[in-house]
Amino acid sequence: MTKLSVNINKIATLRNARGGNRPNVLQTALDCERFGAQGITVHPRPDERHIRYQDVLDLKPAVTTEFNIEGNPTPDFIQLVLSVKPEQVTLVPDAPDAITSNAGWDTLKHKDFLVDIIAQFKEQGIRTSIFVDPDPKQVEGAALTGTDRIELYTEAYASQYLADREKAVAPYAEAAKVALQCNLGLNAGHDLDLDNLRFLKERLPNLQEVSIGHALVCDALYFGLENTIQLYLRQLNY
Ligand X SMILES: NCC(=O)COP(=O)(O)O
Tell me which of 43, 66, 151, 209 is the catalytic residue.
Answer: 43
Give me the least distance between CB of 100 and ligand DXP, in Å please.
Answer: 3
Residues, the chain: 238
Which residue has the closest beta carbon to ligand X?
189
Compute the distance between CA of residue 63 and CA of residue 73 in angstroms, rounded to an integer. Answer: 22
Phi, psi of 184, deg, nearest 5 = -100, 140
Please indicate whether residue 48 is annotated as part of the active site.
no
Q: Which does 209 bind (CB under 5 to 8 A by kind): ligand DXP, ligand X, none?
A: none
Among 28, 40, 213, 232, binds ligand DXP (CB under 6 A): 213
Phi, psi of 168, deg, nearest 5 = -65, -40
Any binding-site annotation on 2?
no
Please indicate whether residue 190 is annotated as part of the active site.
yes
- Is 150 within 8 Å of 176 (Cβ atoms)? no
Compute the distance between CA of residue 147 and CA of residue 169 in angstroms, rounded to an integer. Answer: 24
Compute the distance between CA of residue 117 and CA of residue 94 in angstroms, rounded to an integer. Answer: 16
DSSP 5: E
Q: Which does 212 bind (CB under 5 to 8 A by kind): ligand DXP, ligand X, none?
A: ligand X
Please indicate whether residue 110 is annotated as part of the active site.
no
Any binding-site annotation on 7?
yes
Which residues lie near ligand X (CB under 6 A)?
7, 41, 70, 151, 189-192, 211-215
Three-state secondary-structure class, residue 195: coil
Kindly provide the b/e burial profile for residues 152-178, where b requires at least 16 CB atoms within 10 angstroms of the residue's own CB: bbbbbbbebbeeebeebbebbeebbeb
- Sign of the CA dihedral 62, 184, 234, 170? positive
Site for ligand DXP contains 43 (CB under 6 A)? yes
Q: Which does 192 bind (CB under 5 to 8 A by kind): ligand DXP, ligand X, none?
A: ligand X
Compute the distance between CA of residue 114 and CA of residue 199 in angstroms, rounded to an integer. Answer: 31
Residues 80-109, one symbol each (x = binds ligand DXP by CB under 6 A, - = not), give: ------------x-------xx--------
Q: Cβ closer to ligand DXP: 39 or 189?
A: 189
Q: Residues comprising the binding site?
A: 7, 18, 45, 50, 100, 191, 213-214
Q: Residues comprising the binding site for 1-deoxy-D-xylulose 5-phosphate?
A: 45, 50, 100
Write out the residues near ligand DXP by the rule CB under 6 A: 7, 9, 43, 70, 92, 100-101, 131, 189-190, 211, 213-214
Catalytic residues: 43, 70, 190
